[in-house]
Amino acid sequence: MMEHQRLKRQLRAAALARRDALDPQWRIEASLRIAEFGARAIAIDPGDVVSGFWPMRSEVDVRPLLFACREQLARLCLPAIIDKTTIVFRELLRGAPMIDMGFGTMGPTEDAEVLWPTVMLVPLAAFDRRGHRIGYGAGYYDRAIARLQENGHSPRLVGIAFDCQEVEAVPDEAHDVVIPEILTETGLHNFATAR
């Protein structure tokens, strides 16, 4: 178990270093390509609830993709950190106030409605071709997805990353959630059949 954690830390650090080294202008253009691919490849029905995330550091900027989902009449939400172990997804409305969520990210205020996503755009530090991901180490998304499933919700999970964040193999752990689709600047990669 400790070996898995050590290897995950190393893979996370290396993938994030590659992502950080990307030219900022290239990241903007790649984020726009990701939005274009996502708008075509992720079918959104009116009323679907799409959770995104406010980009921090060198992450993919999913705001253009969220805008495309809103154009398809989706309701949008962002994660809000409730305590050291829990996030909920609060509705993102045009013009509504945003607050600092910590970690360099923003989210809707406490009075925003809590929604249950039907499509989750999942941030990650690294991923492999089996759909295994390495998050940022706090486990918020693994727990949030498990809580959604325990409450009878099965959202479509789409990891969001740049191609440079791919690694050979992510060490498996029992609590890990497999992300069957990863959206990058080269398209939507479906790993559901690769397992």
- Annotated binding residues, as ranges? 8-12, 59, 133-141
How far apart (Å, rounded) are the C-alpha atoms in residues 120 and 123? 9
How far apart (Å, rounded) are the C-alpha atoms in residues 133 and 166? 9
Bridge-partner residues for 106, per DSSP?
100
- Annotated binding residues for substrate, as ranges? 59
H helix runs in the chain, sequence order = 2-20, 24-41, 63-71, 140-150
Bridge-based pairing of strands 49-51 and 119-123 is parallel
CA 67 vs. chain centroid, Å, equals 16
End-to-end CA distance of the chain: 22
- Annotated binding residues for ATP, as ranges? 8-12, 133-141
